[in-house]
Chains A and B, each alone.
Chain A
Amino acid sequence: MAIPRTSLVKLLPAAWSAAGLVFVSLVIFQPTLAIYMLIAGLPTAAIFMIDDDPEQRGVFSVGALNLAGTLPFVLLGSIGYLRQPPLWTAAAYFWPYAGAALGAALYFGVPMITRHIARVEETREKQRLSERQQALVEEWGPNVSSVQLDFSNRDGLG
């Protein structure tokens, strides 16, 4: 499940360069689209600022979905396919923000679920160990729990 980080890391400068080049081109040739992208990409900027993950997984999660909602409008807007520029279209903001919300939900929700599962598993393991210890004491007497011998039955056979 792990993403091949090394290849991603290697690709990052190129990706940032490509993205920068695309964005500079947009600012020069389609300034409205550039402004639209800045407004639509606000959730990614926000998560970038608050994400404490050293590997910036929050930025990846939110950013990927945010970008997935933004890019179709940028592509269609850049070739003039849209009747109205996306800067003024409500739907062009819905999808990026909805994607970002979904990304944030995944980023915060999935670890919450896995932590919960881990806690349940750990609690069960503790319970199993305690029960096993109790069973051992019941089978072997209190001596099994310590090096001290128990002579409580010294007084007689019965």
Chain B
Amino acid sequence: MAEDGEIETESEARVVIGGRESVALGERIRIHPSQTVLDMAGRLAEAFAASDSNMPDNPCVALVARPEQLPRVGACMQLRGLEHVGVAKLIDAGPVAWTDGTQRFAMVYETPAGPPVLRKGKPIEPIDPRTLSRSFVAPVTQALAEMSRRGVTHRAIRPDNVFWYDFGKTRLMLGPATVGPPGALQPVVCESMEMAMCDPYGKGAGTAGDDLFSLGVTVLALLRGDWPLAELSDEAILDKRLELGSWDALAEKYNPPTELYDLLRGLLCDDPAERWSLATVTKWVDGTRPQLPRFTMPGRAREPFMFEGKLLRTGREIAIAMGKNPQPAATIMRTGLLRDWARRSLPDDVAARKIDAMSGPGSQAGRDGDGPLVARACMALDPLGPIRVGSVAVRPDGYASALARAFMADRANLPALDAAIRAGLHMDWGEAQKAALPNQRAARRMTAFERLGRWANEGSVGSGLERCLYELDPRMPCLSPLCIDGWVETAGDLLPEIDRALGEEAAAKEGFDRHVPAFLAARVAADEASLRGLSGGVADEETRLAALRLLAELQETYLVGALPNLARQCASLVRPTLERYQRISTKEYIRTRAEAAIAQGELRELVRLVDDKLALEADQKGFNSAKTEYTAASEKLSKSDIVMLDRARQATYRGRETAVLASGSVALALFFIVLAMHLG
């Protein structure tokens, strides 16, 4: 770390400015972890002062996700740069190298002018209705309309997330929308009935209608200068809203001012089909007087249904109670108790018929077990409610955040989510929604969930709930314990994290968990063979090679640097190839190259060595001819004694032939020489 205040160019991008450590986000933003901003800190994120080098005069606040909390990364990308007076401006967002050595996701917003306008337990002077209308409802409606055009909801509209836009207190604006999963921080009082019945992490993105209900509650709170129903628990608030309807429960004896009466009546309507839409609110802002929604309370049963000591009169009440008590609920379904009551007393004939079909032992609806049976019954009784399975209440578009929460901090919910997805309850929920709200977008979006059941039911590597998690949210970081300290959003990010984790002995022994193959399957559509190779355990050579090829391809595609630990793990994959080569010099050459590749962490080079079919073929050809030559030589040598005898015989023969020829020639010469000597 530099001590003279200069910025270091290290990838971690932690720098020292003015003697204090700061963390860099991109090239512009510096986050100062020593300067906390308490007004903006919350359960899901810490808040720190930040500075933007492009706009040094504009104060910024960085909301840094706490460990084991996941912000709305997808929404960050859609909202980045959205400049509107009605909502806090998200300047930049992304993972940062935090001071504790981990990577955390930071979202940098323009700092609002002061703390939240209204906090629970801290009443304020009621805000003037005209000011509210002009300075809050109008800009916020426009901002929500702009967000809707970008395909994103706010889902964090509540009194303690409203700030003054300027120090002159001329305009109010909504605070950050991306700190956690949609609606995770929303109190029950600020949520529409459909969302209020969900678990905080299982609400899903919801619709603009849900935002508008929250806007209504917030306007009501600011008008009164007090948090609505502050003295009641969440359960009591829900009961009261169920009993009286949200409008009566929230307004109580308060008589809203005329200027905002219509707006509040339009927004605080429990029926999502009747609640004012963004277009209607825009019209109201523009000065027209839209028609007020029809307030109808859900049909009450002719006689109450006794369940777990409570007398319940509406389908929704029974659904909530059954969702909270799944075992007794399954019993009343199987024994037909609920069916008998529905036949007698339930005013909703459709629901009564559905319950009738599901009831009794061996019913088709009970084929997946008690949890899904109860969930389907709850759906029949309360089609707009969440999926209630086990102790979990989630909407399908909240599956991703619920799964992420379950994997990170609350594994007890995993079996219930698993049962819901395996049984395809989301598809049943979609059908129920279509029937109840034929025009709603949420009901039309169900095609995205069709393959979930297949992934959950498949036993193959790269499937399961982990696959569902990463398929449902394309920006979901990898939750593998291998990269617990990192922020892994792409396959390219994953490789260095795996490599780093493999460097630690314990992690290297454990191998890859189910998250890694599921993440890769979802992000790079990796085939099953290569994923099987990553899952550890016993795998054949071809499978492990497929895994190596996948990792090498990723290294090349994402321009990932050296991966020495991963390469070392893959070294054993090169060994069989090495054994296949016969020429010693080639083996040595490949061994040298492989060792160099391992040292340099170059998976691509290892794959090249393994996949060099031409070289292997040439080696095999050479080996075969060498073997033939060796065998021929051996045969020749083994017969050398016989050959020697034969050659000796031939030599003798030739020698004698030569001797005869020579004798003849010499004899002729001798004859004449002797004759000549004695003639002379």
A residues near B (Cβ < 8 Å) are: 1-3, 53, 57-58, 60-62, 64-65, 67-69, 71-73, 75-76, 81-82, 91, 95, 99, 102-103, 106-115, 117-119, 121-122, 125-126, 129-130, 132-133, 136-141, 143-145, 151, 153-154, 156-158
Instruction: Provide 7 A-B residue pairs closer than 8 Å at the C-beta atoms, listed in order of the A residue.
Output: A81-B678, A111-B651, A115-B648, A115-B651, A119-B647, A133-B633, A144-B627
Q: Shortest beta-carbon distance, B575 to chain A, in Å?
A: 6
* Pair B578/A144 contact, Cβ less than 8 Å: no
* A64 partner, pick from B583, B655, B667, beta carbons under 8 A: B667
B644 at interface by CB-CB < 8 Å = yes
B660 at interface by CB-CB < 8 Å = yes
Contacts of B623 in A (CB 8 A): 140, 143-144
* Pair A68/B595 contact, Cβ less than 8 Å: no
* Pair A129/B636 contact, Cβ less than 8 Å: yes
Bound-complex Cα distance A67 to B675 (A): 12
Q: Which of B360-400 contact A (CB under 8 A)?
A: none
Bound-complex Cα distance A150 to B369 (A): 58
* Pair A2/B583 contact, Cβ less than 8 Å: no
B585 at interface by CB-CB < 8 Å = yes
* Pair B655/A113 contact, Cβ less than 8 Å: yes
* Pair B657/A130 contact, Cβ less than 8 Å: no
Q: 20 new A-B pairs (CB below 8 Å) besides A68-B670, A137-B630, A144-B626?
A: A1-B661, A3-B657, A57-B656, A68-B674, A76-B679, A81-B678, A91-B678, A99-B666, A99-B670, A111-B653, A112-B655, A115-B648, A118-B647, A119-B648, A132-B633, A133-B637, A136-B633, A140-B623, A143-B623, A158-B591
* B657 partner, pick from A57, A121, A144, beta carbons under 8 A: A57
Q: Shortest beta-carbon distance, A78 to chain B, in Å?
A: 13
* Count of A-B residue pairs with CB < 8 Å: 178
Q: Shortest beta-carbon distance, A105 to chain B, in Å?
A: 9
Q: Shortest beta-carbon distance, A8 to chain B, in Å?
A: 10
Return the CB mask of B642-680 against A: 1 if under 8 Å, else 0.
Answer: 011001101111111111111110111111001100110
Q: DSSP majority for the A interface?
A: helix
Q: Shortest beta-carbon distance, B318 to chain A, in Å?
A: 68
Q: Shortest beta-carbon distance, A84 to chain B, in Å?
A: 11
* B667 partner, pick from A67, A76, A122, beta carbons under 8 A: A67
Bound-complex Cα distance A44 to B643 (A): 34
- Counting chain B CB atoms within 10 Å of each CB, the highest count among A1, A53, A76, A111 belongs to A111
Given known A139-B584, A144-B623, contact A60–B660 (CB-CB < 8 A) = yes
Contacts of B674 in A (CB 8 A): 68-69, 72-73, 95
* Pair B647/A136 contact, Cβ less than 8 Å: no
**Nearest-neighbor residue (CB-CB) of B627 within chain A:** A144
* Pair A1/B657 contact, Cβ less than 8 Å: yes
* Pair B660/A68 contact, Cβ less than 8 Å: no
* Pair A157/B595 contact, Cβ less than 8 Å: yes
Bound-complex Cα distance A158 to B591 (A): 7
* Pair A151/B667 contact, Cβ less than 8 Å: no
* Pair A158/B666 contact, Cβ less than 8 Å: no
Q: Which of B568-585 contact A (CB under 8 A)?
A: 571, 574-575, 578-579, 582-585
Contacts of A107 in B (CB 8 A): 656, 659-660, 663
6 shortest interchain CB distances as A-B pairs: A111-B655, A68-B667, A61-B663, A114-B655, A64-B667, A118-B651
